[in-house]
Amino acid sequence: MSGRTRPRGPLRWLLTFVKEIAVVVVGALIVSAVVRAFVGQAFEIPSGSMERTLGIGDRVVVEKLSDVKRGEVVVFADPGGWLPPTTHHERGPVGRALEFVGLLPDTGTDHLTKRIIGLPGDQVVCCDSRGRITVNEHPLNEDAYLYAAPDGRQDRPSDIRFSVVVPAGRVFVLGDHRSNSRDSRCHLDDRRPGQPRGDNAFVPINLVVGRAVAIYWPLSHLDTLKIPSTFADVPAGQTPAPSRASVQAGPDADC
């Protein structure tokens, strides 16, 4: 009777071992891809707009399950026209595959990272008599996170004056490096067909990937990202939030 001879001894053991390793690796990649899609994702910070909280090249863990809150640092997709055209070097097929399964961080070149200042229904104003941004008439003390130059001079909360009410389903965001951040302030004078003035200044919540919870690389920057205490006393905004944004801003509302 004829038939194939089954491998025996060391060769059979090696084939069994390779199969088991392949199953483990494939399973791990599937789990990693599911976690990336629904639970958390790694991002690399491409710009200095969130200094001093986040530096260029920092890698952060972004958690996707929680609802957004004031004071959180969030990663979101470009609402349209916030990012300039880029000519960055694309990763090759292997790099893109490793990024897809979560083994490499997203380079963040088509996303932005900012801090949520206003939620739907919040009135955000710059500024009070002491130069502070207020949310629902509560002044924010932003000294803990605003960028400070090497000579110790700290960025002002905003050089652009405005008063807005955040519409339903949107958030108002600012970078911590206010003098080097293209954020909600920079789009208060945007005019688009069929949209009210400044509508593009407010980020749709469905574009928010999640909140940055920790810096994991480089190890010298290892840290968790918490909501600054100044946001704890902000009162609730309008309920229900208006369907359209209310925007008052001068002609300097551009960056």
Distance CA 138, CA 136 (A): 6
Residues in the chain: 255
> Residue 220 phi/psi, 5° resolution?
-70, -20
What domains can you pick out in the chain, each with its CATH number? 41-92+107-249 (2.10.109.10)
* Dist CA 231 CA 69 (whole Å): 9
| pLDDT per residue of the chain (255 residues) written in tens, 0 to 9 | 455 555 566 777 667 666 667 655 554 444 444 444 444 688 999 999 999 999 999 999 999 988 999 999 999 999 988 988 764 545 556 545 445 444 444 555 689 999 999 999 999 999 999 999 999 999 999 999 999 999 999 999 999 999 999 999 999 999 999 999 999 999 999 888 888 889 999 999 999 999 999 999 999 999 999 999 999 999 999 999 999 999 998 766 677
Q: How many other CB atoms are found less than 10 A from the CB of residue 66?
A: 10
What are the structure tokens assigned to 172, written together? 């108002």
Which are the catalytic amino acids? 49, 114
Whole-model pTM: value is: 0.81
**Which residue, 44, 40, 99, is CA-closest to 215?**
44
